[in-house]
Amino acid sequence: MRIVRLEVCDVRFPTSRDLDGSDAMNPDPDYSSAYVILHTDGALKGYGSTFTIGRGNNVVCAAVMAHEHLVVGLTLEEFMASPGQVWRRLNGDSQLRWIGPDKGAVHIAMAAIVNALWDLYARFEGVPVWKLVSCLTPEAFVACVDFRYITDAITPEEALALLRAAEPAKVARIKELEEKGYPAYTTSAGWLGYPDDKIRRLCREAVAEGWNHIKVKVGRDRADDIRRLALIREEIGWDRKLMVDANQVWEVPEAIAWMTELAPFKPWWIEEPTSPDDILGHATIARAMEPLGIGVATGEHGMNRILFKQLLQARAISFCQVDSCRLGGLNENLAVLLMAAKFGVPVCPHAGGVGLCEFVQHISMIDFTSVSGSWEGRVCEFVDHLHEHFTDPCEIRSARYLAPQRPGFSTEMVPVSVEKFQFPNGSVWAS
């Protein structure tokens, strides 16, 4: 089966109108998708996407099309034979590499293509992506990963040993996932723009729905954070885990001072306390948080496996928040899962936005069946927005992601939604 056409659609949802997704750094996001369709000479198509928050989505769409010469003509058989080599080819075009490498619009554009290739592969095999990867042999799994620049942290041989150790219990874990699903947490209650009565109502609803891990936004106003966290603790009690997310707004000393004041509310982690590129800054914050019992979490703006390597080597994070579309698609996520397992840091993927929940459920499930072998101390993010635009939306029951059953990566969009929300000519924007 050969890819004959690469198509990309600029799809944007006007979420800023209701302040959904508002935080200290991003007050008015319009959740958007650079949505990729791989057309083949057969009956199947592959669907993938990457996430942005509005303006600039067109730049990412242009970056997707800049890969056209690497995608059109590629056969599914080539990808299946060596996903790692195809990844490296997509990532290694020397002219495109100049506007990266491994970062920025060109890298997240590549993620959309890579994820579409995995979707196509899984559709061809008639299984969901998580199960496809779970059923790979350790050797085939290792062949998905480009170890370039990370062999000082993990070698292919070490990765193989780690995967082989997880192998005997894999079948039982697949069964367990299909019965119980994967633990999740909710971010739906605590966007910064929401008024108090809405936060209280959403917290009460979250408790009633069985959520035991709840994350809220902080970082705009210290006194206001203290007031909001007090009312949130009133609603959710002290047994549930509460996580806070500053979305990169603080200086390093400011993060330490601010979080010391929020420590009485017992946050489980502080997410993105400062610049996503500041590895040593995160390490400094992590050392200061240790006596307070607060972990440092980051990764949703973690651009590549090299940055994650350094975060792990510097012991800068207690929770590793991979992103399905910020890293270069599934292959690079697998590289980070392997490193996190080696360093003993739990992976709690970033989600929300549009399509990210659909993607990351697969990643957490692969981590459980094949890499870390555990969901202890791990939760996968869930945000209850925009799932109605997907043909196979993620499903939550009792605060767990149910294991997807349909073939693919769960991110094919409903065609009517693509048409209606296409920017700038879809009916939602044209009016």
Structural Rg of the chain based on CA atoms: 20
- Pick 176 or 384: Cβ nearer Mg ion: 384
Report, in Å, the least distance between residue 22 CB and Mg ion.
Answer: 12
**Only segment of 109-117, 268-276, 291-299, 395-403 that touches Mg ion (CB under 5 A):** 268-276
**Only segment of 28-36, 242-250, 397-405, 408-416 that touches Mg ion (CB under 5 A):** 242-250
The reply to whether 282 belongs to the active site is no
The reply to whether 217 belongs to the active site is yes
**Only segment of 154-162, 165-173, 197-205, 244-252 that touches Mg ion (CB under 5 A):** 244-252
Cα separation, 164 vs 431, whole angstroms: 56
- Pairing of the two strands 213-217 and 182-190: parallel
Catalytic residue among 217, 362, 387, 389: 217
CB atoms within 10 A of CB 143: 16
- Pick 225 or 245: Cβ nearer Mg ion: 245
Cα separation, 7 vs 5, whole angstroms: 6
- Pick 271 or 358: Cβ nearer Mg ion: 271
Cα separation, 358 vs 393, whole angstroms: 6
- Pick 48 or 276: Cβ nearer Mg ion: 276
Q: Does 381 bind Mg ion (CB under 5 A)?
A: no
**Only segment of 157-165, 269-277, 282-290, 372-380 that touches Mg ion (CB under 5 A):** 269-277
Instruction: Please provide residue 322's backbone torsions phi and psi, each rounded to the nearest 5 degrees.
Output: -60, 155
Q: Which residues contact 117 (CB under 8 A, 6 or more apart)?
A: 38, 46, 48, 79, 83, 86, 329
Q: Does 245 bind Mg ion (CB under 5 A)?
A: yes
Catalytic residue among 67, 282, 350, 385: 350
Instruction: Please provide residue 177's backbone torsions phi and psi, each rounded to the nearest 5 degrees.
Output: -60, -40
Report, in Å, the least distance between residue 169 CB and Mg ion.
Answer: 32
- Pick 96 or 214: Cβ nearer Mg ion: 214
Nearest to 373 by CA among 170, 153, 177, 171: 170
Report, in Å, the least distance between residue 353 CB and Mg ion.
Answer: 10
Report, in Å, the least distance between residue 52 CB and Mg ion.
Answer: 15
Residue found under tokens 């729905």: 209
Show the beta-strand stretches assigned E in 165-281.
182-190, 213-217, 241-245, 267-271
Report, in Å, the least distance between residue 186 CB and Mg ion.
Answer: 13
CA-CA-CA-CA torsion sign (165, 405, 378, 192):
positive
DSSP 128: B
Q: Does 323 bind Mg ion (CB under 5 A)?
A: no
Q: Which residues are catalytic?
A: 217, 350
Residues that bind Mg ion (CB under 5 A): 245, 271
